[in-house]
Amino acid sequence: MNSEVERRRTFAIISHPDAGKTTVTEKLLLLGNAIKLAGTVKAKKSGRKAKSDWMKMEQERGISVTTSVMQFLYQGYTVNLLDTPGHEDFSEDTYRTLTAVDSAVMIIDAARGVEQRTRKLMDICRMRDTPIMTFINKLDRESLEPLELIEQIEEELNIECVPMTWPVGSGRSWQGTYHLAEDRFSLYERGHASELHEYQSIHGLESTESKEWLDGSHEDYIEEIELVREAGHDYCPGKFAAGHQTPVFFGSALQNFGVDQLLSEFVREAPPPQPRETRERFVAPKEDGFSGFVFKIQANMDPKHRDRIAFMRICSGAYSRGMRMRHVRLNRDIRVSDAVTFMAGERTMAETAYPGDIIGLHNHGTIRIGDSFSDGEKVAFLGVPNFAPELFKRVRIQDPLKSKKLNLGIKQLSEEGATQAFFPINSNQVIVGAIGTLQFDLVAFRLAQEYGADCIYEPSNIYTVRWVKSDHPADFLEFRRKAADQLALDGDDQLTFLATSRANLQLAEEKWPTIQFKDSREHNTH
Ligand code: G4P
């Protein structure tokens, strides 16, 4: 058990769309021997057979609604890569997946630098001080100056960078990278994009071979490296573990250069499964008793059976097929004989699984986001919150007689994490909030399919929501009375403030200093 925990690395990739997440993922799977040829992941994305109407919708849009988990072995480590939906399928699941990992890899496009989505995902990682390694991608294209990229990351993301490799040129003049700790150049050669290969290397920054190879630019390059060493930070494992420092690698995923250097360092330095906080106590991964929590629910695998898969991260103990576990919220024991694991995106029946692994539990809607499972102990995991949606729409039902169905459907879908629902206390409107636009379409689709409630969306003037609480009952009462027009209950009957603009929120916060306005809501606290 100890060694199984020690050799596990569970992580996700954070990046702005098009920075290269899919391409890096593919090269990681190639390195982990989970696929044989590059190109497989992309081909799969579009070539999958439709299994349900929902999947048809996925295909029509050419995107993947499903988040998968990929497990592979590398240098003796078992690596679990949790996919974070990034394009139109960007959603709250993307954020919540980051609550289930022990570390993350950040990909930056060398020509574009730090982009908006990366900033947001970094904020989510900060909530748990997740350790982050960085890969600066697309060096085969004209890039920003490496020093400028480092400065941008440090300033905009407020994290110290420790360059592990440093590029020699970029774009057409890209020659390779220099590994600072190993004092070795790796030479870039085109033509190895889809296969594993060894780089040619030259040892010693100041060696005669290097001088010959770099020709007239040798002196300048030595100076540049001196500057990087002087101005840069020394690697400090403690700072990395606390999310204050990020080791940085340069390369090109498409050209299959540098991802292996990143992965070798990553498996060595990234943390194994860590203790996790529950409402009751911290649970250590090496404890014998089984425990885990659900961070994502994927529905409609088979619409006829309303089958759902709940993705559970195991936090302690081991899963074995057929075992009994306690569904803590319902205080009920279940026997699990058909949990699935995910090898390179393919589902297989899980025989055993360990802390850090993700298993998928079949269910028919009994499991909610944030639910905890244990060997019988009453433990409720914290840190799998709802995040304030960023987009809002008013829902109108076509047939008013079906409004009860609509409300039920919207509540159940919000328990699953597909979207969030808000019911203003002073009106009978229903508001749906989401992080990505596709969530609205999915919810409308499922409301019609599963609840027979056809609905249309109308624009809403809501800018954001905040969950409100206070330790001052009298103030809270007054606030509830005076701000009633802007208050709503969420799908779990928690009180929220619907702000119409940033200024509106700020004003409310200033006016009501004893009320807490929170941008996420923890499950399992009430
Ligand atoms: P994402 O999942 O983060 O959205 O990015 P993805 O890997 O799909 O990459 C986005 C685009 O960038 C793709 O091109 C991909 O081939 C390209 N790309 C990724 N890594 C590199 C790299 O190291 N160098 C260069 N030059 N390009 C890279 P596309 O034309 O949008 O897609 P495709 O037609 O290649 O599938």
Residue 213 CA, ligand 1 centroid: distance in Å: 30
Whether residue 21 has its Cβ less than 6 Å from ligand 1: yes
pLDDT score of 35: 65
Ligand 1, atom 33: closest residue by C-alpha: 42
Q: Is the CB of 143 under 6 A from ligand 1?
A: no
Q: Which of 314, 278, 280, 269 is nearest to 295 (CA)?
A: 314
Banded model confidence at residue 344, pLDDT cuts 50, 70, 90: low
- Each residue's pLDDT tens digit, 148-161: 999 999 999 999 99
| The pLDDT of residue 63 is above 70 | no
C-alpha 136 to ligand 1 mean position (Å): 13
**Best CA proximity match to 493, nearest among 461, 521, 516, 453:** 521
**Torsions phi, psi for 420 (to 5 deg):** -125, 145
Q: pLDDT exceeding 70 applies to what percent of the chain?
A: 90
Structure tokens at 257: 């250069």
pLDDT tens-place string over residues 269-312? 999 999 999 999 999 999 999 999 999 988 754 556 567 789 99
Ligand 1 pocket member 20 (CB < 6 A) = yes
Residue 428 DSSP SS3 = coil
- Report DSSP letters for 178-215, one per residue: EETTTTEEEE--SS-TTS--PPEEEE-TTSHHHHHHHG
Answer whether 45 contacts ligand 1 (Cβ < 6 A).
Answer: no
Q: What is the pLDDT of residue 432?
A: 95
pLDDT-derived band at 339 (thresholds 50, 70, 90) equals: confident
Atom of ligand 1 nearest to the CA of 24: 7
User: Which of the residue ranges 58-72, 308-322, 436-450 has the most confident prediction, judged by mean pLDDT?
Assistant: 308-322
What is the structure's pLDDT at 306? 64
Which ligand 1 atom is at minimum distance from the Cα of 252?
23
C-alpha 82 to ligand 1 mean position (Å): 19
Closest approach atom of ligand 1 to CA 137: 23
How many Å apart are CA 14 and CA 131, to the nearest integer?
Answer: 12
10 Å CB burial of residue 405 (0-12, 13-18, 19+) is middle
Tokens of 211: 């001088």
Evaluate if residue 68 carries a pLDDT over 90: no
61: pLDDT strictly greater than 50:
no
Cβ–ligand 1 distance for 16 under 6 Å, the answer: no
pLDDT in tens, 380-435: 999 888 999 999 999 998 888 888 888 889 988 888 887 899 999 999 889 999 99
Q: Is 42 close to ligand 1, i.e. is its CB under 6 Å away?
A: yes
Quote the pLDDT of residue 177.
96
Ligand 1 pocket check for 118: Cβ under 6 Å? no
Determine whether the shortest distance from the Cβ of 23 to ligand 1 is under 6 A.
Answer: yes
